[in-house]
Amino acid sequence: MAATVTAPPLKPYPVIPILEVGAMGKTKTFPANAPMQQALGFPGELVEDWHDKAIFKLGELLGKYRSLKVYLDACVHCGACTDKCHYFLGTGDPKNMPVARQDLLRKVYRRHFTWSGKWFPKLVGAEDLTKEVLDDWYSYFNQCSECRRCSVFCPYGIDTAEITMAAREIMDSIGLGAKYTNEIIGKVHKVGNNLGLPGPALADTLSSIEEDLKEETGLDIRLPVDEKGAEVLLVTPSADFFAEPHVYSLMGYAKVFHAAGISWTLSTHASEAGNFGLFIGNYGQMQKIATRVREGILDLGAKRLVVGECGHAWRVAYNFWNTLIGPFDFLDPNYPVPQHICELTYDLIQRGAISFDKSANDRYVVTFHDSCNVARASRMGGMPGGQFEIPRAIVRAVANKFVEMNPETIREKTFCCGGGGGLLTDDLLDLRVKGALPRMEALQAVVESDGVNFMATICAICKAQFSKVLPYYKFNMSMVGGVHQLVGNAIRLGPK
Amino acid sequence: MTPATVFFALLLYAAALLGAAGLVWRIRDYARTPAPLKIPTTPAPTTTGGVVLRMLREVTLFESLFRANLWIWLFGWMFHVALALVLARHLRYFTQPVWFWVEWIQPFGMYGGLAMVAGLAALWARRFLVERIRYISTPSDHLMLALLLGIGISGLSMKFLAHTDIIAVKEFALGLILFDWQPLPVHPGLFVHLFLVAVLIAIFPYSKLLHAPGVFFSPGRNQSDNPREQRHLAPWAAALDKAKV
Residue B170's nearest CA partner among B101, B109, B89, B95 is B95
Cα–Cα distance list, B66 to A75, A368, A426, B134, B238 (Å): 17, 26, 38, 21, 38
Residues of A whose CB is below 8 A from B221: 156-157
Cα–Cα dist B213/B30, whole Å: 9
**Quick check: A45 pLDDT over 80?**
yes
Q: Is the peptide bond before A98 cis (omega within 30 degrees of 0)?
A: no
**Which residues are registered as beta bridge partners of A456?**
A368, A481
- What is the DSSP-derived secondary structure letter of residue A155? T
**Nearest-CA distance A242 → chain B (Å):** 30
Question: DSSP letters of B24-76?
Answer: HHHHHHHHHS---S--PPSS--SSHHHHHHHHHHHHHH-HHHHHH-HHHHHHH
Residues in chain B: 245
Cα–Cα dist B7/A121, whole Å: 29
* A424-457 tens-digit pLDDT: 999 999 999 999 999 999 999 999 999 999 999 9
Residue ranges and CATH numbers for the domains of chain A are 34-177 (1.10.1060), 186-403+452-490 (no CATH)
How much is the average pLDDT of A387-413? 98
Phi, psi of A492 (to 5 degrees): -85, 125
**Which residues are registered as beta bridge partners of A490?**
none
Test A69 with B131 for CB contact under 8 angstroms. no
- pLDDT at position A495, please? 64
Cα–Cα dist B139/B37, whole Å: 35
Cα–Cα dist B96/B67, whole Å: 42
Cα–Cα dist B160/B164, whole Å: 11
Test A152 with B64 for CB contact under 8 angstroms. yes
- pLDDT at position B244, please? 61
Q: Chain B residue closest to A106 (CA)?
A: B208
**Nearest-CA distance A18 → chain B (Å):** 8
**Quick check: A253 pLDDT over 50?**
yes
Cα–Cα dist A435/A427, whole Å: 14
Test A283 with B35 for CB contact under 8 angstroms. no
- pLDDT at position A1, please? 44
Test A16 with B68 for CB contact under 8 angstroms. no
A·B CB contacts under 8 A: 208
Contact A309, A251 (CB under 8 A): no
Cα–Cα distance list, B93 to A23, A246, B97, B167, B168 (Å): 55, 69, 10, 9, 10
The side-by-side arrangement of strands in the sheet containing A454-457 is: A366-368, A454-457, A480-482
Q: Chain A residue closest to B245 (CA)?
A: A325
> Nearest-5° angle of CA B228, CA B230, CA B234?
110
Mutating which of B64, B66, B126, B218 best tests the A interface, going by the most A Cβ atoms within 10 A? Answer: B218
Q: List CB contacts of A445: < 8 A, sequence separation 6 or more.
A: A12, A405, A406
**Amino acid identity, position B207:** S
Residues of B whose CB is below 8 A from A94: 132, 135-136
Q: Which fold has domain B45-222?
A: Fumarate Reductase Cytochrome B subunit (1.20.950)
- pLDDT at position B110, please? 86
Q: Is the peptide bond before A224 cis (omega within 30 degrees of 0)?
A: no
Please identify among residues 114-173 of chain A the ones whose CB lies closer than 8 Å to any CB of chain B: 114-116, 120, 122-125, 148, 151-159, 162
How much is the average pLDDT of A261-280? 97
Q: What are the respective helix, strand and coil percentages of chain A, to the nearest 5?
A: 55, 5, 40
Question: DSSP letters of A52-83?
Answer: HHHHHHHHHHHHH-HHHHHHHHH-----TTTT
- pLDDT at position A3, please? 64
Phi, psi of B180 (to 5 degrees): -135, 80
Q: pTM value?
A: 0.96
> 3-state class of B207 per DSSP?
coil
**Nearest-CA distance A384 → chain B (Å):** 5
Angle at which helix A341-350 crosses helix A246-260, to 10 degrees, equals: 40
Contact B62, B73 (CB under 8 A): yes
* A325-350 tens-digit pLDDT: 999 999 999 999 999 999 999 999 99
Q: What are the respective helix, strand and coil percentages of chain B, to the nearest 5?
A: 75, 0, 25
Cα–Cα dist B92/B113, whole Å: 15
Test A337 with B33 for CB contact under 8 angstroms. no
- pLDDT at position A117, please? 95
**Quick check: A493 pLDDT over 90?**
yes
Name which of A64, A70, A377 is nearest B218 (Cβ-Cβ). A70
% of residues, chain A, pLDDT over 90: 95
**Nearest-CA distance A300 → chain B (Å):** 19
Question: DSSP letters of A457-491?
Answer: ES-HHHHHHHHHHGGGGT--GGGEEEHHHHHHHHB
- pLDDT at position B66, please? 97
Mean pLDDT by 10 residues, chain B (245 residues): 93 98 97 96 97 98 97 97 96 94 91 96 97 97 98 95 94 96 96 98 96 96 96 88 66
Residues of B whose CB is below 8 A from A155: 58, 62, 64-65, 68, 76, 211, 215
- For chain B, what are the domain ranges? 45-222
Q: Report chain B's terminal Cα–Cα distance, integer Å.
A: 71
**Which residues are registered as beta bridge partners of A356?**
A491
**Quick check: A206 pLDDT over 50?**
yes
Cα–Cα dist A185/A175, whole Å: 16
> 3-state class of B118 per DSSP?
helix
Test A153 with B68 for CB contact under 8 angstroms. yes
Q: List CB contacts of A215: < 8 A, sequence separation 6 or more.
A: none
> 3-state class of A216 per DSSP?
helix
Test A76 with B208 for CB contact under 8 angstroms. yes
Residues of B whose CB is below 8 A from A116: 140, 203, 206-207
Test B221 with A384 for CB contact under 8 angstroms. no
Cα–Cα dist A44/A28, whole Å: 18
For residue B127, the Cα-to-chain-centroid distance in whole angstroms is: 20
Count of C-beta atoms within a 10 Å radius of residue A59: 13
- pLDDT at position A91, please? 96
- What is the DSSP-derived secondary structure letter of residue A31? B
Contact B30, A156 (CB under 8 A): no
